[in-house]
Structure 1
Amino acid sequence: MADPASAYPPSVAASGINLGAGPAYRRGVVRLLLGLGGFALIYLEMLVGCVAAMFVAIEAAWREPGLWPVAILAVLLFAPLVAFLLRGLVQRPAIGEAALTIDVQDHPRLLAFVQQLAQDAGAPAPKRISLSVGVNAAMVRGQSTLASLFGGQPELIVGLGLVNVLDLREFKAALAHELGHFAQSSTRVGQWAHRVTIVLRGIVLGRSRFDARLARGRAAKRGLVRTLAELLSVGVRGARGILAWLLTRITHLNRALARELEFNADLHAVALCGSDPLVAALWSAQRGALAMNAALGALAELAKHGVFTEDLYAHHQLRLEQLDERLAGARGPMLHALREPYRWGRRLHFPPGETPAEVMGYSHPSYRDREANAKQRYVAADQTPLGPAWILFSDDPQLRRELTLRAYAQLGLGPDRSQLRPAGEVEARLSEELAERRQGAHHHGFYDNRVVNPGPVDQLLAELASDPPTPEQLRAAVDPWRGAALAAFMASWRETELRLERPDPVDHAALASAQAERARQVQQAHVGDRAVFRWLWHQASPPQRLELVERHRFSSFVQHLIMALNAHHGRVATLFSSVDAREYELASHAPLELLDALDALHRDLVSSLAQAQQVRLPALRNLEAGESLAAVLLADPLIESLAHEAALGPWLQQFMAQVTIVHGRLRTLYYKNLGQLLALHDRIDAEAPEPSDQST
């Protein structure tokens, strides 16, 4: 093995970079400290008040035995409140839940790299290094709130997705940023605020068995139990109300300070690595995040067919290689900046006003602001190409496999190790899946994101049989939906789409005009669907006609179910936006409007699954033709309808998860069948123009 030190890029000789705290930084620290002090004071007052109430009641009962019933009542009321308030103090940081702690002695290059970097940064070396799935990195302190508040050991968490996209110089800059946080004198304040936010979120928003038991107590038949539960519920709601207000204030203050902390940590990275390696790491990480989302989405689709990979990161790398092709047609300055290669130098690469998706642990300023901060005093760096960050790790196939299993767990999947297949084999299956859904360029996106509606198939067949049109009539009807004419229609369609996506907030007439134009275009598209079906029917052989009818019927049925679920989703989402279902432990306590919406959704889903029992799958890749559609949509039985006194939260969580599964699989089946249907179109229509003959 090569000398571990050889993997460490030399630090730059930076001068003139002020790593001290500026006025905005200091103001942010003071304000956040005051906010945290207020939290500690109110939180302790609530705890001490509950304990004091029990102590006073018990002490009084010792003096006056007749007061023991009151003392017992006080204990029954306030002891659960104390447990409720203390619950958040033992929570583990969410970022570490799926992390894999490694023995750094097994990775000497990584150990030497991190130790040297910590020494150069003047920061404490992490006592533990863990790996997570995504494209991120973070330094955390301790495994619980108590540890992070009172001196837990620093832990470095590195996303293997980040390792997968950075070279050694960029990786050093990314870790230098994280270690820079621990070199800051006020880092502990930010850590406190982060953990306090987790505590408050857990108490205010979280629901646990405590809440379920409280709900059952309020529904109990025994009057004493019901009364105690009602009184305790009043206390819990009051505590949550106070802490919710604190959560809002501390979150606001923490975001303000986080911005300054990020700028300062970036300067620590610049002082060690130069300006460009940090910005290049941001560029690569954001591209890596987009590629990771694509890889996880594709693998989740393939998992529906029982196919699981042993190496997420091989697929991640392939999606990264395909990213420029995906971004080629994307609009927006940020996507353009991600498509264009980053070029080292003083010129700013990222556009203003764009806040990227999160790829690190906290709220961040925009990439433009971070780049401007890093280049305000430009520090040049060596541009000699370096190897990938992967070379810091030993036995990387095993690490890839372990983190891949954790990625599947985050997706709600639990494949057995024996089910994992080589990445090459899985990628071949994935390519088949994607190829099945691909639409030829000569369709110009005509079948994208709209309802394909040629009309009732049986009615179309009856018309074709009773009054057969001539070939000339069929050709005249279909010609506007082929070639240059179709390209012109879709150009107009996309123009209307832009007007609808970016309406003038003042010109309501323009929006109404665009909506009317879209309605007219939809009707025209349905005329085109009808003309295409009639033309293909005329051209097709008998076996092709059978397949054409089968696929159109299947498509029509699946579209109907998708639209029904979309309508329900809109209604339920609207209600959830105005009603917090977590406030209602039992179904009987929830608003009738919400219960009606959930009941209607459940009844329709029961009916849809019953109808799907009679529908058979057409020939589709990775699925058995002739299998019941219902069996593919939902493997487990649908949850029973919501009982009047059932706990609302657990039922809602399971039911909405099943709705999401059904909706996702319907969409998958629809696009698989659509791809096969369009391939059938091309086989039938010998005159279909080749993609190379059409404008794009």
Structure 2
Amino acid sequence: MSQKVIAVSSAFQKMTTQAILSIVFFLIVYVLLIVLGISITILAAYAGFQIIIVKPALITFMIGAGLLSMGILILIFLFKFLFSKKEVDRSHLVEITENEEPKLFKLIHEIVQEVDTQFPKKVYLSSEVNACVFYDSSFWSMFLPVKKNLQIGMGLVNSVSDIEFKAILAHEFGHFSQRSMKVGSYVYNVNHIIFNMLYENDSYNSLIKSWGGVNAYFTFFVSLAVKIVEGIQWVLKQVYEVVNTNYLKMSREMEFHADEVAANVTGSSPLITSLLRLDLASHSYNAVLDYYATKVSDAIVTDNLYPQQQFVMNFLAQKSKLPIDNNLPLVNIDHLSRYNKSKLKLNNQLSTHPSTEDRVAQLNHLNIVKQEKTILPARNLFSDSYQLEAKFTDKLFGMVNYETAVVKKDKESFVEDFTKNYHSNSFAEVFNGYYDNKQPVSFEDKDNEINDLASDIRYQDLFDDKKVDLVYTAFALENDKNTLLQIEKKEIVVKRFDYDGEQFLASESGEIVNKLEQELSQIKEEIFINDKKIFSFFLDAAKRKDKTEEFTKLYARFTNIDKDFDNKFDTYIKMINNTAFLYETTPFAIIEKNLVTLKVIEKEFKIQIQDVLGNDNYSDALSPEMQDNFSKYAAEDLVYFIGQEYHESKLEILFKAIHDYNDILSKSFFKAKKEFLDFESSLVA
């Protein structure tokens, strides 16, 4: 039984109308450009022919041919997109068939029937945490029927239940289920046409270069063609802004529509739970890959990274106090938004997808309830999921060139190593994330208020969720305020922006900044009071355990590094900014000018390096290799550019010095902070 026709929302209708109008706008502009291009070609050909008629000679023939070539090159530019085809790279994919995976294909047949769309041309598996429907697009795909392909990531399969998996696939097919969705395909292709004419010009530029190299006459007329093409591109950039903006807006509404299609197949709940978990699943997958990236020099690999992904996902969920059901974390909306308190949305930062929070809110509003069958892992839909996971694991590690024979690490070894690394690089759980993006604050021990506060404080109250929310709210307000100040100064150019669900003109940004500053001031005062209580509590705890001296010493060490860090890190940023030109193709005169500026910054940088080398606070992070390179760097005034070439060996010393300097600062700062917080946590153990 096919699915009922789902009425499109008024917002979708509005976005579709705007998208259609943008297509019409493009067609009008494009037709005018074609008329202009043909007119230039005809006039150039006529002028060239007349020149040859008036005075037949080699030079007039070359001028005539040059004029004609100018027109032809303009026309080639205007029509080159007709022969452009965007093919999807399938090298990382593995095609599967119905004979190989009958249960999976049975599910896909069910979804296709319920959604009322076509069965995919081919079904592929990939290694990632995703699913998508794709096809090879070209200009002609707007007029000719093109069957879509389905791609399923094993990282996704490993992270969802069977009913959630069905909801995700139903969403993907929902994009192509009803006629109202086909406008999106047209807008996408128009967008692609303009993008091709603006930015995909490698073969055209090669043609220009070879054509212009024929002789001096052709070079002149080719240069004229290039100037005219640049003018056409300027016009197309204005059109692209209109079409792309409408495409992005409509794409967001299409996502809501596809969500509704999926909800009508499985109910709202399965898509909600999978959406909320996918960020954690993706983060866990990447955490496993990052772990093995650090083991490349030791040639350590594994047979199957997906059980390790699931371990990390559940491990991190437990650390965040999230419930786990059927071996899958149940992520709630509060957890998802805990670290992102921003209320600012800029109209020029639209993406093709609405936020997860907005999608969940829409699905909750639909509140479509379906009776769910027994929930099983999505991997049960595959004949041998472990074999497929191992195949993709081998495929991923096969992309790395190992210098020695690989050593395989089992899941137990990974779990032990990952857990150890996690605890080494995170703060004690008693702090509940309070200090993840905030530093401990010290106060005078002699302050009577500090001593008075210690009497009736429970440390659990100091780091509860409300206190942590204050920290992240302050962080978000500070960022939003800075962005709005940039809008007020016109450093960020937008016509409108949304704040807390309301729309404002750019000229109103200053008014919003004033409100944010008042709110921020109040929240900072609350955090300040809490920090006083924290200091008072742990100072009192240290006194009661006769550890005041250790408390004071560790606090002083962290405070010294904290005060020193900003100044030293500022020098690092200056070095990064003033060496950026070394990674770019730059005229010789500009290189020499930039090197003069760099030498001035280097004096400050070398002073800071010497301070780091002589400071015990940084000694633990300083390796012999770093010491050796710093000595080479400081020993002489290195020359990075000789004649017309860079001195690569000298640049290598410079870049390593910059990298090592930042590495020492970061590690030393974190170590001092962790040692102090670990000491504080031991006082309440």
**Which TM-score band (shorter chain)?**
0.5 to 0.7
Question: Is the Cα contact below 8 Å between 1:135 and 1:289 reproduced in 2?
Answer: no
Does structure 2 retain, via aligned residues, the 8 Å contact 1:555–1:670?
no
Relative distance call for 1:263 and 1:673 in structure 2 (3 A) is closer
Return the match for 2:413 from 411, 418, 425: 425
The yes-or-no answer on 1:565 pairing with 2:589 is: no
Match of 1:389 in 2: 378
Is residue 77–residue 231 contact of structure 1 (8 Å, CA) maintained in 2? no
Query: Structure 2 CA distance, aligned partners of 1:178 and 1:204?
Result: 30
Show the 5 A alignment for 1:606-685.
Answer: 626-628=624-626, 669-670=667-668, 673-674=671-672, 677=675, 682=679
CA distance in 2, matches of 1:191, 1:663: 50
Alpha-carbon distance in structure 1 between the residues aligned to 2:660 and 2:78: 36
Residue 119 (str. 1) matches residue 113 (str. 2):
yes
User: Is the contact made by 1:263 and 1:370 (CA closer than 8 Å) also made in structure 2?
Assistant: no
User: 1:160 is matched with which residue?
Assistant: 154
Deviation, 1:196, is: 3.3
**Are 2:504 and 1:506 equivalent residues in the alignment?**
no
Structure 1 pair 426–46 and aligned structure 2 pair: CA distance change class (3 A): farther
The one of 243, 253, 261 equivalent to 1:250 is 243
Other-structure match for 2:314: 321
Distance in 2, Cα, partners of 1:431 & 1:99: 30
Asked if structure 2 preserves the Cα contact closer than 8 Å seen for 1:262 and 1:365, the reply is no
CA distance in 2, matches of 1:441, 1:481: 24
**1:118·1:179 contact (CA, 8 Å) conserved in 2?**
yes
Per-residue deviation at 1:676? 7.4
Amino acid at match of 1:248: E
| Structure 1 pair 604–392 and aligned structure 2 pair: CA distance change class (3 A) | farther
**Are residues 403 and 481 of structure 1, via their aligned partners in 2, closer, same or farther at CA, if it must alter by over 3 Å?**
farther
1:503-542 alignment to 2 at 5 Å?
A: 505-507=513-515, 508=517
Partner of residue 284, structure 1: 274
Instruction: Specify the alignment match of 1:690 in structure 2.
Output: 682
Structure 1 distance, partners of 2:452, 2:83, is 67
| Counterparts of 2:597 and 2:85, CA distance in 1 | 32
Change in Cα spacing, 1:22 to 1:433, as seen in structure 2 (3 Å) is closer
Change (3 A) 1:397 1:79: farther
Which residue in 1 is equivalent to 2:495?
A: none
Kindly indicate whether the alpha-carbon contact (under 8 Å) linking 1:25 and 1:257 is maintained by their aligned counterparts in 2: yes
Supply the distance in 1 between the matched residues of 2:407 and 2:142 (Cα, whole angstroms): 39
Contact in 2 for aligned 1:138/1:158 (Cα 8 Å): yes
Return the alpha-carbon distance in structure 2 between the equivalents of residues 660 and 80 of structure 1: 48
Measure how far apart 1:246 and its partner are. 2.0
- Counterparts in 2 of 1:500 and 1:399: CA distance versus 1, 3 Å: closer
Q: SS of the counterpart of 1:182?
A: coil
Partner of 2:19: 32
Q: RMSD between aligned alpha carbons?
A: 6.5
Distance in 2 between the 1:415 and 1:103 partners?
A: 30
Q: What does residue range 159-178 of structure 1 map to in structure 2 within 5 Å?
A: 159-178=153-172
Bigger mean CA offset, 171-180 vs 665-674: 665-674
The 5 A counterparts of 1:258-657 are: 258-273=251-266, 275-276=267-268, 279-297=269-287, 299-300=289-290, 303-306=293-296, 311-325=304-318, 327=320, 336-337=332-333, 339=335, 362-364=352-354, 367=357, 372=362, 376=366, 379-401=368-390, 403=392, 418=406, 421-440=409-428, 449=437, 498-499=473-474, 501-502=476-477, 505-507=513-515, 508=517, 562-566=569-573, 587-588=586-587, 626-628=624-626
Shift of 1:433: 1.8
Whole-angstrom distance in 2 between the partners of 1:482 and 1:208: 70
User: Identity of counterpart residues, as a percentage?
Assistant: 15
Aligned in 2, Cα 1:500/1:116: closer, same or farther, shift over 3 Å? closer
Q: How many Å apart are 1:388 and its aligned residue?
A: 1.5
Compute the displacement of 1:502 (Å): 3.0
Structure 1's 183 and 606: CA in aligned 2 closer, same or farther, altered over 3 A? same
Query: Which one-letter code corresponds to 1:138 in the other structure?
Result: C
Residues 1:515 and 1:119: Cα distance change in structure 2 (over 3 Å): closer
Question: 2:20 & 2:611 partners in 1: Cα distance?
Answer: 59
CA contact 1:287–1:338 (8 Å) conserved in 2: no
Contact (CA 8 Å) 2:441, 2:531: kept in 1 or not? no
Q: Is the 8 A contact 1:292 1:319 kept in 2?
A: no
Q: Which amino acid aligns with 2:119?
A: A
Deviation, structure 1 residue 406: 7.7
Q: Which moved more, 1:224-233 or 1:121-130?
A: 224-233
Q: For residues 522 and 167 of structure 1, what CA distance do their matches in structure 2 show?
A: 43
Letter in 2 for 1:120: E
1:207-250 CA deviation, whole Å, 9 max, x = no partner? Answer: 869779999999x9x99899678645544543332222222222
Contact 2:85 2:136 survives alignment (8 Å): no
Distance in 1, Cα, partners of 2:431 & 2:361: 42
Q: Deviations over 1:592-643 (max 9, x none)?
A: 9x979995899699969997997999778xxx964437989xxxxxxx9799
CA apart distance, 1:184:
1.0
Gaps spanning 5+ residues in structure 1: where?
A: 1-10, 341-350, 356-360, 455-472, 527-531, 633-639, 647-653, 683-687
Three-state SS of the structure 1 residue aligned to 2:376 is: coil
CA gap of 1:167–1:19, structure 2 versus 1, over 3 A, is same
Q: Distance in 2 between matches of 1:48 and 1:186?
A: 33
> C-alpha distance in 2, partners of 1:402/1:658?
38
Tell me the equivalent position of 2:6: 19
Partners in 2 of 1:49 and 1:92 — Cα distance?
28
- 8 Å contact kept, 1:25–1:260: yes
Call closer, same or farther: CA 1:239–1:281 in 2, change over 3 Å.
same
1:447 to partner: Cα distance:
6.9
CA shift at 1:555, angstroms? 9.8
The worse-fitting range, judged by mean Cα deviation, of 658-667 and 58-67 is 658-667
- The residue number in structure 2 matching 1:191 is 185
TM-score by length of 2: 0.63
Query: For residues 415 and 140 of structure 1, do their structure 2 counterparts lie closer, same or farther at Cα, with a shift above 3 Å needed?
Result: farther
User: Which amino acid letter does the alignment assign opposite residue 626 of structure 2?
Assistant: S
Verify the 8 A CA contact 2:127 2:155 in the aligned structure 1: yes
**Residue 174 of structure 2, aligned match among 158, 180, 186:** 180
* Aligned residues of 1:483 and 1:689 also touching (Cα < 8 A): no
Partners in 2 of 1:480 and 1:490 — Cα distance?
A: 20
Does the C-alpha gap of structure 1 residues 137 and 586 become closer, same or farther in structure 2, counting only changes over 3 Å? same
Q: Assess, with a 3 A threshold, how the Cα gap between structure 1 residues 672 and 496 changes in structure 2: closer, same or farther.
A: closer
Q: Are 1:287 and 1:320, in contact at CA under 8 Å, matched by a contact in 2? A: no
Which residue in 2 is equivalent to 1:651? none
SS at structure 2 position matched to 1:138: strand
Q: Aligned partners of 1:291 and 1:226: how far apart in 2?
A: 56
The match for 2:487 is: none
Measure, in 2, the Cα distance between the counterparts of 1:127 and 1:605: 62
Give distance in 1, aligned partners of 2:234 and 2:589: 19
Amino acid at match of 1:152: V
Aligned positions, number: 593
Deviations 1:88-126 (A, max 9, x none): 9635367x6775141324323222321332233321100
Structure 2 vs 1, CA of residues 149 and 548 (structure 1 numbering), >3 Å: closer, same or farther? farther
Question: How many angstroms apart in 2 are the aligned matches of 1:281 and 1:420?
Answer: 36
After superposition, the C-alpha distances for 1:126-180 in whole angstroms (9 at most, x for unaligned) are: 0012334544332223255554664332111223333222222222222122222
Contact 1:109 1:392 in 2 (8 A): yes
Amino acid at match of 2:104: L
